[in-house]
Amino acid sequence: MTLHPAIRKDAVAVVTGGASGIGLAAARRFGSAGMTVLLADLDEARLDEAVADLGADGITATGFATDVSRRANIVALKEEADRLGPVGVLMNNAGREGGGGLLSGPEVWRDTLEVNLFGVIHGLQAFLPDILSADRPAAIVNTGSKQGITLPPGDTAYNVSKAALKALTESLAHDLLDTKGRVTAHLLIPGFTFTGFTRARGVTEKPAGAWTGDQVADFLLDGMAAGDFYILCPDNEVTRETDLKRMRWGMGDIIENRPALSRWHPDYAPAFRAYTERDG
């Protein structure tokens, strides 16, 4: 299997939100390739279980209790990473669901933005200077969301946080052009995935339409190896072709001066349905 050059035996993979779900699945793949894995997570009990689980598979893993919304925690995480070795992969994966619309309380908005957006900013500002100064391959993966692109009504705080993360990661990729491919950025865009978020809603068994964290992690490594920036995952319900049609329609709102989020506008429902049913 071809791997991104940053995934190498003499380097460290730092994965936030790494104690479960997509983060743990990705960490397992980095570790299986010989990397030392540093898992960061808020849930200390689950973090200990994840480290033990990886260790049972022969993976060198360390857990570090981290609240990514707190800059001091990320600085301490960076110090722990330095103790383990040079960082080859930084995966800013930790996130939380917003759980509210525009008029949700300020605490909902603050918590969502501080984790989903500022948690990544803290990670980049702490780790990127040394990654840039080192003469070795590296990769930065930020876990986004399709909701940050298509903006379905309902969870406005979450949508805004992931839309901002998309813009941040695109800007990061452009800034990294100066490294001439030595350091790459990747926006992971999962589809419907059975994770801790799903379980928190009371779903104890994987829905048929969902991918597993392992499937997303495999898709991530393939995308990184191919040099893809947008790593847009399908799932068992929605194909890539369907995702692209939905995203093209959303951009068409600007180009054709339609109402915002016209995909969900009752006056545009027949047109959107006809559009999605067309071939190509």
Condensed to tens digits (0 to 9), the pLDDT of residues 19-58 reads 999 999 999 999 999 999 999 999 999 999 999 999 999 9
Answer yes or no: is pLDDT of 203 > 80. Answer: no
Q: At 10, is the secondary structure helix, strand, or coil?
A: coil
Among the options 158, 230, 268, 275, which is catalytic? 158
Rounded mean pLDDT, 4-16 = 97
pLDDT at 200: 56
pLDDT at 279: 75
pLDDT at 198: 59
Q: What is the CATH number of domain 12-238?
A: 3.40.50.720
Answer yes or no: is pLDDT of 18 > 60. Answer: yes
Domain range summary for the chain, segments of one domain joined by +: 12-238, 239-280
pLDDT band at residue 100, thresholds of 50, 70 and 90? Answer: confident
pLDDT tens digit string along 73-89?
A: 999 999 999 999 999 99
Helix H or strand E encompassing 170: helix 156-175
pLDDT at 143: 98
pLDDT at 9: 96
Answer yes or no: is pLDDT of 4 > 80. Answer: yes
Rounded mean pLDDT, 123-136 = 97
Answer yes or no: is pLDDT of 158 > 60. Answer: yes
Q: State the Cα angle at 198 between 192 and 200, rounded to 5°.
A: 160
Rounded mean pLDDT, 115-120 = 98
Answer yes or no: is pLDDT of 202 > 80. Answer: no
Bridge partners, 185 (sequence order): 140
> pLDDT > 90: what percent of the chain?
92
| DSSP conformational letter for 258 | P
Any catalytic annotation for residue 268?
no
User: 141: which 2 tokens?
Assistant: 């993966």
User: 30: which 2 tokens?
Assistant: 């980095």
Bridge partners, 12 (sequence order): 36, 87
- DSSP states of the chain: ----TT--TTSEEEEETTTSHHHHHHHHHHHHTT-EEEEEES-HHHHHHHHHHHHHTT--EEEEE--TTSHHHHHHHHHHHHHH--EEEEEE---------TTS-HHHHHHHHHHHTHHHHHHHHHHHHHHHHSSS-EEEEEE--THHHH--TT-HHHHHHHHHHHHHHHHHHHHGGGGTTSEEEEEEE--SB-SHHHHHTT--S--TTPBPHHHHHHHHHHHHHHT-SEEE---SS--HHHHHHHHHHHHHHHHTTPPTTGGG-GGGHHHHHHHHHS--
Mean of all residue pLDDT scores within the chain: 95
pLDDT band at residue 201, thresholds of 50, 70 and 90? Answer: low
